[in-house]
Chain A
Amino acid sequence: MTSSDTSSKRRRSSVALRLVRNPLGAAGVVILLVMVALALLAPVLAPFGPNTAAIGNTLAAPGGDFLLGTDSAGRDTWSRLLWSGQLTLLSALLCASVAIAIGLPAGLIAGYFGKAFDGVSSWVANAILSLPSIIVLLSVRSAVGPSVWITMIVFGVMLSPGYFRLTRTAVLSVRNELYVDAARVSGLSDARIITRHVLSVVRAPIIIQTALIAGVAIAIQSGLEFLGLGSPQDPTWGAMLSEGFRNIYTTPMLMVWPALAIGLTTGAFVLIGNALRDALEDMPGTRLSVKALAGAATAIGTASAPVRSRIPSTVSVRTLAEPVDATPPEDAAEHLLQVDDLEIGYPDGDGGLKRVVEGVHFHVDRGEVLSIVGESGSGKSQTAFAVLGLLPASAQVVGGTVVFDGVQTVDPQRRRIADERMRPLRGRRISYIPQEPMSNLDPNYTIGHQLSRPMVKLLGVSRAEARKRALALLERVGITDPQRTFDAYPHEISGGMAQRVLIAGAVSCEPDLIIADEPTTALDVTVQAEVLDLLRTMRDELGVAILIVTHNFGVVADLADRVAVMQQGRLVEEGPVREILHHPQHPYTRALLGSMLVGREPLTPLTTTTKGPTS
């Protein structure tokens, strides 16, 4: 308990530190502190009272007794500015307090206990949010007369749904967490669970929300006063702005000061709110790591630590010596796909490069099935996406060549797969079967549209012809009612059917090579076998080559002619499937094979060789 308290204190102070280190956040804090100090010190600093009028000295120019001049009633602008600051800032405080006092408990109750209260309060919150606040405040003013305080209380009510939603969402996500269950089982009362576990989660977002809301409150309060709907006795920046606007032709400077005060204060609140959000998002543990950028990217052991150098210098002499144009190496012509010395890296955030694929070479012949095997993070998917030319934008092809049917697609100068060389190949010559079927279909279009559109575009057939071919393809991949599937949206079909649709899409333009990235991993075991059968049929009937990426030696044994084994970005072993299965040479291959055999002694975990994060 004490340790969690101190760590949360450290976390808080570190957030404050980050807030001040952020130049915009620091500026916001300074401006706000100055405004608060001026307002608090108004009784000392202001030479006149807020409504003290110097008759005969109306609209005086700045200077003399009146630092910033006087308004049309002869009131000192500087003094009024200070007094107004007091009232304006206090009214913002009141507004935010009311909003929290209503929204927070309501959100806690709705989120924690749910049921009828949740339904009713959510409806009310939506209703309040859908009303234009100025219209509501005008009606309140009509009903109860001018009062800064009542206006701000009502506006606080109008803003409370923001806190309500925030709290409710946070509570809903925390409520079902295991540690809350544990707390409940251990006999803690609901009240204690709420205060200890739930409030600590919503504290940070509420602070951010409050900074932003204080700015909004000042803006709306000034707006109402500007309309002349406030009490004439109350000095506020909005009222001063209104007074300035009335005298805009004679003394426009009267308008500048309150406008500046309003702009600076609301701006300060927004800057603080944004800086706080950034500070909390940048906290260690929540920061996006290179892992997230690179997908399956994993650190390549200690032997090849990230190359720390500026981008141009990492191009090795060997890479530069290689052909820059699309001419392939001489022996490449005989293979459909030939990959040599492929190296892929991602910026590691410190100017260096983290390599996820290193020195990988393999080839695929026409009609052949090559399987790339390895565990998560071995670089096998990155290799497959490089062949497709669909690596993430931040990926860099540091070296090597990829030659498809005589076309070298790597552009070493830009360290990318050249899109202009890939474009004529993609879909038409090389196609792709993804891992997760459902997320790879656009939910907004029918299956039929997504199947026939590439045929219209790439093969130049008419829409009617494309439709006919799509129906035939659906039948061919084993879908019993092609017409119904053709007209269906993705959410109306099962995962296994979706994978068949994607396979149909992959073969629709009669490609020479299909890249299949773990095509069975997301499917039920029974469907897996059917999909593998289907892939084999496609190979046999269409003569298409398949590059299949998998971690499953069962798939390899079932489908592949040859196998390439990858570990930590490197190719460790490659050969005909029988040879690898029966006489694995590399210890890693043996470990992988062992992990799938039933009835064996438990092995030492594979993780002994893997240090980086897995995905």
Chain B
Amino acid sequence: MIAFTLKRLGSGVLLLAVICTVAYALLFANGPSIARNIVGDQATAEQVAAKQTELGLDQPLPLRFLSWVGDAFAGDLGRSWFGPITVSDALVTRLPVTLTLIATAMIFVTLIATTLGTAAAVKRGWIDRLVQVGAIVGDAIPGFVVAVVLATIFAVQLGLFPAVSSIAPGAGADAWIASLTLPVIAIVLNYVTASAQQIRSAVIQQRERDFVRTLRSRGLGDGEILLRHVLRGAAPAGLTVLSLQFVGLLGGAVILERIFAIPGIGQLAITATVNGDIPIVMGVVVYTVALVVIVNLVVDLLNGWLNPKVRVS
């Protein structure tokens, strides 16, 4: 198990290193273009060159990258080019908002999808059809369109929720709940049927396994067999789809935060992208990939813990 953990951890660190290198090369390579983007089309060549020097973009790329890596190890991801704030500060104040949104939504998705998927597999009938049709509908309508419709009806037209999030430093729990309810509903609507569908297939597959019949022949109850044996066997498949959805939401949150005006990482990323605030964009990439690595590691470990073949050997 320790060797297994170290191997997964190593793979994650490698992923982080490769992505950081590629992203840095992509974002910082074209010094003149970056400087031109900031000072504007009307600026003279001298102004562009001055900006380049000011931002240190005239140095060779490998040198800049090495110094960035050195600072990053010390926890310093640089400063914003557009305001008196470090990249880390900008990210750390916004990260809790985004993570709260994603984590809350995923908890609901997990609970509802597991219940729906298991019920569909065991009971079949109308609930099964609901899951099947729901999965197609969920695939067919882009999530942000659902979110836009929800925002229009419930926030703008009916005024039941704030159209602009009231989350701010020091805001109370009621502000968080009021601001996050609609986006969480939007995520759940968009994600729940897809994961329910996966869980349904996994449960159906598990129920057909030989040992389930043998357990029944031993006199164990259907409820115990379902909870202890069938769901346990279906858990890795469910974990995989839920972790993929979690990672997908790290991107999807960008659009949701825009629609519901939530001050999270996504809003920061959009503003930085439009302005050309490259250090912030780089910071967003680093944080996101780090989160992906952590989520994947946790899922790998959970799977290892669930599966005795990995755990014992």
Chain A residues engaging chain B, CB cutoff 8 angstroms:
24, 127, 130-135, 138-143, 145, 212, 215, 218-219, 222-223, 226-229, 241, 245, 248-249, 252, 255, 259, 262-263, 266-267, 270-271, 274, 388, 390, 423, 426-428, 431-432, 434, 436, 439-445, 450, 453-454, 457-458, 489, 491-492, 502, 505, 509, 515
Instruction: Assess whether B82 is interfacial by the CB under 8 Å rule.
Output: no
Instruction: Assess whether B43 is interfacial by the CB under 8 Å rule.
Output: no
* A312 to B23 CA separation, bound complex (whole angstroms): 69
Contact of A139 with B229 in the complex, beta carbons under 8 Å: no
Instruction: Identify 24 residue pairs between A and B in the complex whose beta-carbon atoms are under 8 Å apart, listed by A's number.
Output: A127-B19, A130-B247, A134-B251, A135-B251, A139-B23, A139-B26, A139-B284, A142-B278, A219-B142, A222-B145, A223-B144, A226-B144, A227-B255, A248-B152, A263-B140, A270-B136, A390-B217, A423-B219, A426-B216, A426-B218, A426-B219, A427-B219, A443-B309, A491-B309
CB distance from A520 to the nearest CB of B (A): 16
Contact of B270 with A226 in the complex, beta carbons under 8 Å: no
Instruction: Assess whether B214 is interfacial by the CB under 8 Å rule.
Output: yes
Instruction: Assess whether B8 is interfacial by the CB under 8 Å rule.
Output: no
Contact of A223 with B220 in the complex, beta carbons under 8 Å: no
With beta carbons under 8 angstroms apart, the residue of A135, A388, A491 that contacts B254 is A135
* A249 to B151 CA separation, bound complex (whole angstroms): 12
Contact of B211 with A439 in the complex, beta carbons under 8 Å: yes
Question: Hey, what's the 0/1 contact readout for B219-252 against A, CB within 8 Å counting as 1?
Answer: 1110010000100110000000000000111111
With beta carbons under 8 angstroms apart, the residue of A127, A255, A453 that contacts B152 is A255
* A133 to B251 CA separation, bound complex (whole angstroms): 6
* A423 to B214 CA separation, bound complex (whole angstroms): 14
CB distance from A420 to the nearest CB of B (A): 12
Contact of B214 with A138 in the complex, beta carbons under 8 Å: no
Q: How large, as a class, is the contact surface on chain B?
A: 35 or more
* A187 to B262 CA separation, bound complex (whole angstroms): 64
Main secondary structure of the interface of A (DSSP, over half): helix
Contact of B255 with A226 in the complex, beta carbons under 8 Å: yes
- Other than the known A228-B274, A491-B308, what 19 A-B pairs have Cβ atoms closer than 8 Å? A127-B15, A131-B292, A135-B250, A138-B281, A142-B27, A145-B37, A219-B144, A222-B145, A226-B144, A241-B145, A259-B148, A263-B140, A390-B213, A428-B219, A431-B218, A432-B218, A436-B210, A441-B211, A441-B214
Contact of A132 with B232 in the complex, beta carbons under 8 Å: no
* Residues A130 and B292 in contact in the complex (CB < 8 Å), given A139-B281, A245-B259, A440-B210: yes
Contact of B308 with A489 in the complex, beta carbons under 8 Å: yes
* A10 to B156 CA separation, bound complex (whole angstroms): 54
Contact of A457 with B220 in the complex, beta carbons under 8 Å: yes
CB distance from B216 to the nearest CB of A (A): 6
CB distance from A572 to the nearest CB of B (A): 28
B282 cross-chain contacts in A, Cβ below 8 A: 139
B140 cross-chain contacts in A, Cβ below 8 A: 215, 263, 266-267, 270-271
With beta carbons under 8 angstroms apart, the residue of A228, A252, A442 that contacts B211 is A442
Instruction: Assess whether B111 is interfacial by the CB under 8 Å rule.
Output: no
* A429 to B275 CA separation, bound complex (whole angstroms): 77
8 Å CB interface, B244-292 against A: 247-252, 254-255, 258-259, 269-270, 272-274, 276, 278, 281-282, 284-285, 288-289, 292
Contact of A130 with B211 in the complex, beta carbons under 8 Å: no
Instruction: Assess whether B118 is interfacial by the CB under 8 Å rule.
Output: no
With beta carbons under 8 angstroms apart, the residue of A263, A274, A434 that contacts B210 is A434
* A130 to B252 CA separation, bound complex (whole angstroms): 14
A431 cross-chain contacts in B, Cβ below 8 A: 217-218
* Residues A489 and B312 in contact in the complex (CB < 8 Å), given A139-B281, A442-B215: yes
* Residues A135 and B270 in contact in the complex (CB < 8 Å), given A223-B142, A458-B219: no
CB distance from B255 to the nearest CB of A (A): 5
Instruction: Assess whether B306 is interfacial by the CB under 8 Å rule.
Output: yes
8 Å CB interface, B132-165 against A: 136, 139-145, 148-149, 152, 156-157
* Residues A489 and B309 in contact in the complex (CB < 8 Å), given A142-B276, A227-B258: yes
Contact of B308 with A139 in the complex, beta carbons under 8 Å: no
* A59 to B274 CA separation, bound complex (whole angstroms): 26
* Residues A132 and B218 in contact in the complex (CB < 8 Å), given A139-B285, A270-B140: no
CB distance from B298 to the nearest CB of A (A): 13
Contact of B220 with A427 in the complex, beta carbons under 8 Å: yes
* A115 to B166 CA separation, bound complex (whole angstroms): 55
CB distance from A165 to the nearest CB of B (A): 13
Closest to A219 in B: B142
Contact of B247 with A139 in the complex, beta carbons under 8 Å: no
A390 cross-chain contacts in B, Cβ below 8 A: 213, 216-217
With beta carbons under 8 angstroms apart, the residue of A263, A436, A502 that contacts B142 is A263
Closest to A259 in B: B145
Instruction: Assess whether B307 is interfacial by the CB under 8 Å rule.
Output: yes
CB distance from A491 to the nearest CB of B (A): 6
Contact of A443 with B308 in the complex, beta carbons under 8 Å: yes
Closest to B214 in A: A440
* A396 to B133 CA separation, bound complex (whole angstroms): 30
A226 cross-chain contacts in B, Cβ below 8 A: 144, 148, 255, 258
A134 cross-chain contacts in B, Cβ below 8 A: 251-252, 254-255
* A390 to B216 CA separation, bound complex (whole angstroms): 8
Instruction: Assess whether B296 is interfacial by the CB under 8 Å rule.
Output: yes
Select the residue from A131, A241, A431 with max chain B CB neighbours within 10 A.
Answer: A131
Contact of B217 with A267 in the complex, beta carbons under 8 Å: no
Closest to B219 in A: A427
Instruction: Assess whether B168 is interfacial by the CB under 8 Å rule.
Output: no
* A252 to B151 CA separation, bound complex (whole angstroms): 12
Contact of A139 with B27 in the complex, beta carbons under 8 Å: yes
A127 cross-chain contacts in B, Cβ below 8 A: 15, 18-19
B213 cross-chain contacts in A, Cβ below 8 A: 390, 432, 434, 440
* A145 to B157 CA separation, bound complex (whole angstroms): 36
Closest to B258 in A: A227
Instruction: Assess whether B44 is interfacial by the CB under 8 Å rule.
Output: no
Closest 3 CB pairs of A and B: A427-B219, A132-B251, A134-B251
With beta carbons under 8 angstroms apart, the residue of A245, A271, A454 that contacts B148 is A245
* A262 to B255 CA separation, bound complex (whole angstroms): 16
CB distance from B200 to the nearest CB of A (A): 16
Contact of B18 with A227 in the complex, beta carbons under 8 Å: no
A219 cross-chain contacts in B, Cβ below 8 A: 142-144
Contact of B141 with A266 in the complex, beta carbons under 8 Å: yes
* A266 to B312 CA separation, bound complex (whole angstroms): 46
B258 cross-chain contacts in A, Cβ below 8 A: 226-227
Closest to A218 in B: B142
CB distance from A263 to the nearest CB of B (A): 5
Contact of B15 with A130 in the complex, beta carbons under 8 Å: yes
A274 cross-chain contacts in B, Cβ below 8 A: 136
Question: Hey, what's the 0/1 contact readout for B178-196 against A, CB within 8 Å counting as 1?
Answer: 0000000000000000000
With beta carbons under 8 angstroms apart, the residue of B37, B229, B274, B309 that contacts A442 is B229
* A275 to B252 CA separation, bound complex (whole angstroms): 27
A259 cross-chain contacts in B, Cβ below 8 A: 145, 148-149
CB distance from A373 to the nearest CB of B (A): 22
Contact of B233 with A142 in the complex, beta carbons under 8 Å: no
* Residues A442 and B220 in contact in the complex (CB < 8 Å), given A142-B27, A259-B149: no
CB distance from A469 to the nearest CB of B (A): 14
8 Å CB interface, B197-213 against A: 209-211, 213
Contact of A427 with B218 in the complex, beta carbons under 8 Å: yes
B141 cross-chain contacts in A, Cβ below 8 A: 263, 266-267
Contact of A141 with B273 in the complex, beta carbons under 8 Å: yes
Contact of A426 with B288 in the complex, beta carbons under 8 Å: no
Contact of B288 with A444 in the complex, beta carbons under 8 Å: no
CB distance from B269 to the nearest CB of A (A): 5
* A489 to B255 CA separation, bound complex (whole angstroms): 47
* A454 to B218 CA separation, bound complex (whole angstroms): 6
Instruction: Assess whether B5 is interfacial by the CB under 8 Å rule.
Output: no
8 Å CB interface, B289-313 against A: 289, 292, 296, 306-309, 312
Contact of A440 with B18 in the complex, beta carbons under 8 Å: no
Instruction: Assess whether B30 is interfacial by the CB under 8 Å rule.
Output: yes
Select the residue from B152, B157, B209, B259 with max chain A CB neighbours within 10 A.
Answer: B152
Closest to A427 in B: B219
Contact of B272 with A223 in the complex, beta carbons under 8 Å: no
